[in-house]
Structure 1
C-alpha cells in the first residue's frame, strides 16, 4: 500500500512527562503526594529510565522535588503557573504554525494527521483523539524546521486539557473545529492567520484547564 507514513510518536520520556504534567495540572496528583520511579514505570508500562528523565524535566519546571530515595514529591501550583505554562506553549506553537506557512514547507503530513483525526471524530471514536491530537500538533512542530523549538514544545506538552467541565467527546469536537481553522490557514499559506488560530486554540485549552482551579 502506497502513501502511508510512520506515525510520529512521542519519545518515552516525553510520554511520561506529558502524563505526569497532565496529572499534576488537573490535580489528579495533589500537592505533597509522593511518586516513585518504579510506581510510575509500572503504571505507564515503561522502563525506569524514561521516568527518571521525565522527573528531571518536571523538577526543572518546578512541578516536583526530587528525593534521594529515587522518588519525588509533587509541589504546589496555582493559577499563575497554569497561565504562564499555556502562555509559553501558545507563543511557541503559534510561531511554529506561522513558520509552516513558508512557501517551501511541505505540509503533507500535517494534512494527513488532520484528516485522520477528523475521520475519527466522524466515526465517534473519541478515545483515539488524544494520540491524533498530539500527532497533528507534532507534525506542525516538525514542519516548522526548528529542532530546538520542537524539543522545547514537546517537553511542555501535557495532553488533552479537558478541565473539569467538559467530556472527552465535547473536547474532541471543539478541538477538531479549531484544528480545521488552523489547517485552513496553513493550506492558504496565511502565516498571520495560522499564528492567531493556534494561539487562540492553546489559550482556550488553558481556560478549560483552569476549571480545575475554580
Structure 2
C-alpha cells in the first residue's frame, strides 16, 4: 500500500487509473466522504533517522492525503462532501524517536485547516486524532512486550487503548450532517491521555 500511495501521489497515470477505478466502483452513489487513514511509522532518534525514512513518512502521511483530496476534489464538491484526515495525538504530545511520525501528523493537522479554508464552502475538512488504537501497526510495535502494551492501556484515563470501531464511529459522526458546522477542526479521540500529566514526582 505505501508504494501504491506514493505512485498515486506522484505519477499521473497511476492517479488517473485510481480515480477512475474508485468512481466507477461507487457508481451512482458517488463520492461523499474521503477518509485519509493510511500511515507509516518509522522510529529512530534524530541523529540516526535516515532521510529516506523521513521522506517516506511525509510522502505517505502528508503528501498522499493531499494528493487524494486533490484527485477527488471535483467529486467531493459535487456531493458537498467531507474530507476526514486521520491525525494523531502525536501532533500534540509525542515521545522519543517519533520525530518523523509526529512531524507528519502535525503537518496533517495543519493541512486540514488549510483545506477547510481553501475548499469551503463546497467541501468540509476535519481531522480525527486518535491515541493508541488496536491496529496491526500498534501490535507490531509491541510484539514481545505485551506487558508494556497493557501498561499503555492503563495509562489512558479510560483504562484501555482504543478500538478500530471507536475511530470508525467518530469518523462517521464527523462526516455526517450532524457535524455540518465542523470544518478545519481537530477532534482528539484520545481516551483522556492528553489530559493526563506524567511527571517524575
TM normalised by structure 1 equals 0.27
Higher strand share: 2
TM normalised by structure 2 equals 0.29
Higher helix share: 1
Q: Which has the higher contact order (CA 8 A, sep 6+)?
A: 1
